Amino acid sequence: EVQLVQSGGGLVKPGGSLRLSCAASGSTFSRYWMHWVRQGPGKGLEWVGRIIDDGRTTYYADFAKGRFTISRDNAKNTVNLQMDSLRVEDTAVYYCAGAGRFVNNWFDPWGQGTLVTVSS
């Protein structure tokens, strides 16, 4: 079973950039669609975006379009979330999560989460 370990995160000023990474163990990483989900302080879960198994296609929530970019390297078993033009309201814990191929799939496994704080 794939396990996900996240890195990156931290404090960044509004308008700044940050890159989150998610490393997978196991040889089946390339079979997963990978998602990013965030959770603001004291709030619920919010889907950010996804990248399909071969990395050719991505899709983003409206708030992420044009600012966030998801990429993956199947040779290195990693997926990344590049966040630009960050806003105070992007402050959240960000989770990576795997899902089976195709649209109609639940999220499992999940990374441990990493905190992003956007503040001046």
Partner 1 sequence: DIQMTQSPSTLSASVGDRVTITCRASQSISGWLAWYQQKPGKAPKLLIYDASSLESGVPSRFSGSGSETEFTLTISSLQPDDFATYYCQQYNTLYSFGQGTKLEIK
Judge whether 94 and 48 are in contact, CB under 8 Å: yes
Q: How far apart are CA 95 and CA 99, in angstroms?
A: 13
Stretch of 10-18, 19-27, 46-54, 80-88 contacting partner 1, by CB under 8 A? 46-54
Among 27, 41, 44, 120, contact with partner 1 (rule: CB under 8 A): 44
User: Pattern 77-116, binding to partner 1, x per CB under 8 A?
Assistant: ------------------x---x---xxxxxx-xxxx---
Strand pairing partners for 8?
none
| Sign for the pseudo-dihedral over CA of 73, 75, 76, 78 | positive
Name the residues that contact partner 1, by CB under 8 A: 35, 44-47, 50, 59, 61, 95, 99, 103-108, 110-113
